[in-house]
Amino acid sequence: MGSSPQPGEPPRKPMDRHVFWAIVLVVGFIIASGIFMVWFGLRILSNSVHVKVTENSPDRKVVTIKTPMGNFKIAKEQNVSEYQLGLPIYPGATRQKDSADDHAISLSFDLPDQTNLRIAAAKFATPDPINKVQEFYKQQLGGEVSSFTQTNRDGKVVFEIKYGDQHKIVSLRPRDGGTQISLVRIFKGHAEPN
């Protein structure tokens, strides 16, 4: 028996010109709509975002960014108080001036209908040895400390205080025969505590 020849594929019909142009028009419309939506969104965003830089003195610079989604405030200041940090500053300690971050930083994120976030941080230095500084903070913070860490490898000491919407950190590290002190306060909530 012989094999009968297989019928060949029928020749493909060329795409109708009307279908081709319809596809091109639909793709063009999608691309043009996307470009318009991006342009329109950027116009709205550029008109509703406001950035304000205020320099009240050479020691304080504040950048405020207002957006429809919330407000952000970044303050760099030369001097910082115990009140802002919510932590005692070691007596005689001076602000660190040997690095690019020689300012205290405070960040504030105010989001509508959300929990607000505020962060204050500063670094200090003292010629006193770390054990003396550690004893000062142990006495000052007393029963507030919720976590204490001491690493023997690099001599770093960390006190952590967590209660309510606040988290405070005192980090001590030996440096150049003295002690480097880093103080951080993080607050989450709608109203700043006293």
Residue 89: closest CA among 57, 123, 129: 123
Claim to verify: residue 69 and residue 93 sit in the same structural domain: yes
Of the pLDDT bands very low, low, confident and very high (cuts 50, 70, 90), residue 119 is confident
- Pairwise pLDDT comparison (156 vs 101), residue with the higher score: 156
Q: Which amino acid is at 160?
A: E
CA angle 131, 169, 117 (to 5 degrees): 165
Residue 127: its pLDDT value, please? 93
Please, which residues have CB within 8 angstroms of residue 82's CB and are 6 or more apart in sequence? Answer: 88, 89
Identify the domain boundary among 48, 65, 90. Answer: 48
Claim to verify: residue 69 and residue 27 sit in the same structural domain: no
- Pairwise pLDDT comparison (82 vs 80), residue with the higher score: 82
Q: What percent of the chain has pLDDT over 90?
A: 5
In a domain, 118, yes or no: yes
In a domain, 56, yes or no: yes
Average pLDDT over residues 141-166: 76
Claim to verify: residue 29 and residue 99 sit in the same structural domain: no
pTM of this structure: 0.61
In a domain, 166, yes or no: yes
In a domain, 73, yes or no: yes
Phi, psi of 13 (to 5 degrees): -80, 130
Claim to verify: residue 145 and residue 178 sit in the same structural domain: yes
Whole-angstrom distance, CA of residue 161 vs CA of residue 169: 6
Identify the domain boundary among 48, 67, 88. Answer: 48
Of the pLDDT bands very low, low, confident and very high (cuts 50, 70, 90), residue 132 is very high
Mean pLDDT computed over every residue of the chain: 77
In a domain, 109, yes or no: yes
Claim to verify: residue 90 and residue 166 sit in the same structural domain: yes
Alpha helices in the chain (DSSP H): 17-48, 82-85, 130-141
Domain that holds residue 82: 50-189
Let me know: does 36 contact 43? Beta carbons within 8 Å.
no
In a domain, 27, yes or no: yes
Q: Which two tokens stand for residue 189?
A: 């909530």
Claim to verify: residue 30 and residue 108 sit in the same structural domain: no
- Coil vs helix vs strand at 37: helix
Strands (E), the chain: 50-57, 60-67, 70-77, 94-95, 104-110, 116-126, 147-150, 157-163, 166-175, 178-189
Claim to verify: residue 38 and residue 84 sit in the same structural domain: no
Claim to verify: residue 118 and residue 82 sit in the same structural domain: yes
- Other beta carbons within 10 Å of 61: 16
Of the pLDDT bands very low, low, confident and very high (cuts 50, 70, 90), residue 42 is confident
Residue 16 has pLDDT above 80, yes or no: no
**Total domain count for the chain?**
2
Of the pLDDT bands very low, low, confident and very high (cuts 50, 70, 90), residue 194 is very low
Claim to verify: residue 76 and residue 168 sit in the same structural domain: yes
